Amino acid sequence: MKKNSSIFNFYLLDFALKSVWRQKQKNIFIVVVFSLLVFLISSIFQISNGLRNEALSTVSSLPEITVQQIENGRMTQINNNKIDELLQIDGISYVNTRIWGYYYFPNKDVYFTIVGIDQFEEQYKSIWKKISSKHNFYDMNNSVIIGSGVSKLLKESYFDTSFNFILKDGKTKHVEILDTFDRDTTLETNDIILMSKTLAYEILDVNKTMATDIVVKVKNINEIGPIATKIKNLYPDCKVTTRDDLKRSYEQMFNYKSGIFLALFVISLFTFFIIIYDRSSTLLSEEKQEIGILKAVGWSTNDILKWKFYESSIISVFSFCFGLILSFLYVYIFKAPLLKDLFLGFSNMKPDFNLPFVLNLELIIIIFFICVPIYIAATIFPSWRASLREADEVLR
């Protein structure tokens, strides 16, 4: 063979392509296993990162500090008179009570989240502020606004324009369904039934002098921690939760679920390496014979290594790209069925929304270097050992 000192050799590349095709049965198996591994890990981390980003983005709309009354380890109603005491703490700019709770819907065996707001109060969430500017909750004592998940389940039970709440005393409360939240807020409002505070007091059977909890807004966000400590000292029987506490809880939840899938990935990766080692560490007799013939006609060890490098690169890079493309289609076009459910749960109330497209180059590079170079090395090594032997010895 004519010597070529350049790194890239088109003749060797052409030979490698033909070699891949000649051994298509073995290579198709490797491509399938390789692509499935890349597809699985890429899909899992895209879903995890997408859901984490969406969940953490909602944290910014949550109250800076939440105060809840605790009795015997359980949250109970808190007295409204604590508002005046909290306003005496320096650094607090706003305090308000919240009325919210869960309503069981037996038809679908799910719980809806009831939230009551007052038209004239400062809203702690931008969504509530937007809705209150559109609808007058002061006059909405018999109307509600519902999330897309609630709307779907109610329509399946033939509650298209109205709904009947069953009150604690057994009576029913008929309400009109006034509107539905925008689908771009599904993750945050999927199970929400928004109504006036007056109506929420009635449905949840809360005393008018009490509240579910109290939200606190501070003037300087750098003082959230110290102010939360002052509130704990003032009310030792209350649970004081900051926005950062909620953020850490979200992070721990996703880190836990990601850790489970990471363990599965390690097992899959280990299995993949075993398969690759089994397929590549011991050359087939036909491959050894081919290397012997090539050495006999003048191929050098360097030529053989280049050929095997091109061959393994073609297989691994093609498999990597194919698995990556499949994962993008699966996550962003087909909305990641099954895998997304493992993160969100299989409840009837799981949010149905599109994951935002995020091209995580760091993740792609990590997956590439975990899989591709190792496969190339596993392929080249046995070929290198065979190429060091004399041609007649290899052919024998």
At 199, phi and psi to the nearest 5? -70, -40
Q: Which residues contact 133 (CB under 8 A, 6 or more apart)?
A: none
14/129 same-domain check: no
**For residue 323, with 0-12 CB atoms within 10 Å meaning exposed, 13-18 middle and 19 or more buried, which class applies?**
buried
Assess if residue 240 is contained within a domain: no
Counting as low any pLDDT under 50, the low residues of the chain are 1-5
- Amino acid of residue 231: I
- The pairing of beta strand 143-146 with beta strand 172-180: parallel
Q: Are residues 18 and 109 in the same domain?
A: no
**Among 174, 168, 153, residue whose Cα is nearest residue 106:** 153
β-pair type (74-76, 65-71): antiparallel
pLDDT at 1: 47
Q: Does some domain include residue 181?
A: yes
For residue 395, what are the contacts with CB-CB under 8 A and spacing of at least 6? 289, 292, 293, 296
| Nearest alpha carbon to residue 203 among 316, 115, 137, 97 | 115
324-362 burial: b if 16+ Cβ within 10 Å, else e: bebbbebbbeeebeebbeebbeeeebbbebebeeeeeee
Is 255 strand, coil or helix?
A: helix
Reading the block at residue 314, the tokens are: 């073609």
Whether 262 maps to a domain, the answer reads yes
Evaluate whether residue 254 is within a structural domain: yes
HEC string of 159-207 equals CCCEEEEECCCCCEEEEEEEEECCHHHHHHHCCEEEEEHHHHHHHHCCC
The verdict on 256 and 382 lying in the same domain is yes
Let me know if residue 319 belongs to a domain. yes
One domain, residues 293 and 358: yes
The token pair at 136 is 């007058």
Sequence-distant (≥ 6) Cβ neighbours of residue 138 within 8 angstroms: 119, 120, 196
Give the 3-state secondary structure of residue 389: coil
Coil, helix or strand at residue 269:
helix
Together in a domain, 148 and 257: no
Cβ count near 168 (within 10 Å):
9
205 and 301 housed in the same domain: no
d(CA 49, CA 44): 9
160 and 255, same domain (yes or no): no
Is residue 281 domain-shared with residue 390, that is, in the same domain?
Answer: yes
User: Is residue 98 within a helix (H) or strand (E), and if so which, with residue range?
Assistant: strand 92-105
Flag whether 326 is in a domain. Answer: yes
Which token pair is 41? 């890990």
The amino acid at residue 267 is I
Angle at 378 between CA 388 and CA 1, to 5 degrees: 40
CA-CA distance, 217 to 92, in Å (whole number)? 6
Whether residues 49 and 132 fall in one domain? no
Q: Are residues 84 and 54 in the same domain?
A: no
Does residue 53 sit in helix, strand or coil? helix
Q: Which residue has the tokens 């993750």?
A: 187
Length of the chain: 396
Match 């949840």 to its residue by tokens: 204
Per-residue confidence (pLDDT) for residue 104, from 0 to 100 = 93
Task: Out of 211, 235, 268, pick the residue that ends a domain.
Answer: 211
Domain membership of residue 67 (yes or no) is no
Residue written as token pair 């591994």: 37
CA proximity to 27, closest of 35, 78, 61: 35
The answer to whether the beta carbons of residues 116 and 197 sit under 8 Å apart is: yes
Q: Domain end: 159, 185, 211, which one?
A: 211
Give residue 5's pLDDT: 46
The answer to whether residues 196 and 154 belong to one domain is yes
Q: Are 17 and 314 in contact (CB under 8 A)?
A: yes
Q: Which of 190, 211, 232 is the last residue in one of the domains? A: 211
Give the pLDDT confidence score for residue 21 in this predicted structure: 84
Q: Which domain holds residue 159?
A: 78-211
Q: Is residue 138 part of a domain?
A: yes
Q: Which residues contact 173 (CB under 8 A, 6 or more apart)?
A: 164, 165, 167, 199, 202, 203
Are residues 116 and 48 part of one domain?
Answer: no
Structurally, how many domains does the chain consist of?
2
